Amino acid sequence: MARIEFGWMPPVGGDNQARPEFMANLRRGLATIAGHFDSVWFPDHLQFEDHPFLEGWTTLTYLAALEPRLKVGHIVLCQLFRNPALLAKMAATLQYVSEGNFVMGIGAGWQEEECKAYNIPYPGPGQRVEELDEALQIMKALWREDHVTFEGKYHRVTNAFCQPKPEPIPPIMVAAFQPRMLRVVARHADWWNIGFSDLEKTRDLVNKLDEACRAVGRDPKTIRRTAMIGCYCAPNERKLKELTDKHRGPFGLGLVGTPAQVIEQFKPIIDLGFDYFMVSGGGFPDTTTLEMLAHEVLPALNS
């Protein structure tokens, strides 16, 4: 069985916290997971209703420098925000300065509100998927070749040059749920990412990805399966209730329980082929969940 790895999704802004407190908590969270988790992940949104929200690329670059033992990735970049050749150059640079710790997580883009607010074109779903496909072709070419020329329906580069090349070439992780996006995963991705909420829905998505891979002649086992997942974990019911009573946000609690209970909840997801989980660490800045995952859950899953 593949080794199970965890990444951490830290808070996206300083809700009800002064900046010194927020930054101190962020550093404390990184210190808790370093040496145990594999990575840290940050989303790519410009605004989300009226919540404080740090810009994704700038934040992730800071995190890469702050804790160089961890891999870093976006979960996931919105391809609408940046020219794909420029994005390839940014990724190559971050891979260089992070000494090979960058994972290129990307998606087609889905939040119309922020695009309208920032005057970024927001085409229909079909065009967004086609734009992403072209963007991935450009990025892969620039990471491997010199003097790249590409003329697509939506994107164009002429004699584009990207040095230094990323070493190693970052894994490409595509977030996908719908059939057309799953075909993009099958054509281009090294990793596939979903947001986990329901085991049967996840099983159905796995089957659909397998079909998409077969349609392009690819072995589904060559794509790493990863999942964003919420989790609240504590040593006893009293502490667990203390953590979950503070839950906020639009998404559910996710996996909830003592370490032994959370281990059992992870197992059927792992049985579907998932071996990499980006977890929120419920209750943060209380680090109980992160500590339980690092010292109890992760070792048990890999025993």
Query: Within 10 A of 246 (CB to CB), how many other CB atoms are there?
Result: 12
> Collapsing DSSP states into helix, strand and coil, what is residue 145?
coil
Helix, strand, coil percent values for the chain (each to nearest 5): 45, 20, 40
Summarised one tens digit per residue, pLDDT across range 138-173 is 999 999 999 999 999 999 999 999 999 999 999 999
pLDDT at 62: 97
Q: What's the pLDDT at 1?
A: 67
Q: What is the DSSP string of 10-66?
A: --SS-TT--HHHHHHHHHHHHHHHTTTS-EEEE---S-BTTB----HHHHHHHHHHH
β-pair type (156-160, 148-151): antiparallel
Tell me what pLDDT residue 16 has.
Answer: 80
- Average pLDDT for residues 12-18, to the nearest whole number? 85
Joined together, the tokens standing for residue 23 give 């930054």
Mean pLDDT of the chain: 96
Copy the structure tokens of residue 14: 């300083």
Q: What's the number of domains the chain is made of?
A: 1
Kindly indicate the confidence band of residue 252, based on its pLDDT and cuts at 50, 70 and 90. confident
Q: CATH number of the domain that 22 lies in? A: 3.20.20.30
Q: How far apart are CA 231 and CA 10, in angstroms?
A: 13
Q: What is the pLDDT of residue 45?
A: 96
Structure confidence at residue 2 as a pLDDT band (50, 70, 90): confident
Mind listing the pLDDT tens digit for each residue in 192-233?
999 999 999 999 999 999 999 999 999 999 999 999 999 999
Closest CA to 196 of 233, 228, 232, 231: 228
Binned at pLDDT 50, 70 and 90, residue 49 comes out as confident
Centre a 10 Å sphere on the Cβ of residue 4 and count the other Cβ atoms it contains: 18
Q: State what percent of residues in the chain have pLDDT above 70.
A: 99
Q: Are strands 224-229 and 102-107 parallel, antiparallel or unpaired?
A: unpaired
Residue 210 structural domain: 5-301
Over residues 11-39, the mean pLDDT reads: 94
Do the strands 39-42 and 102-107 form a parallel or antiparallel pair, or are they unpaired?
A: unpaired
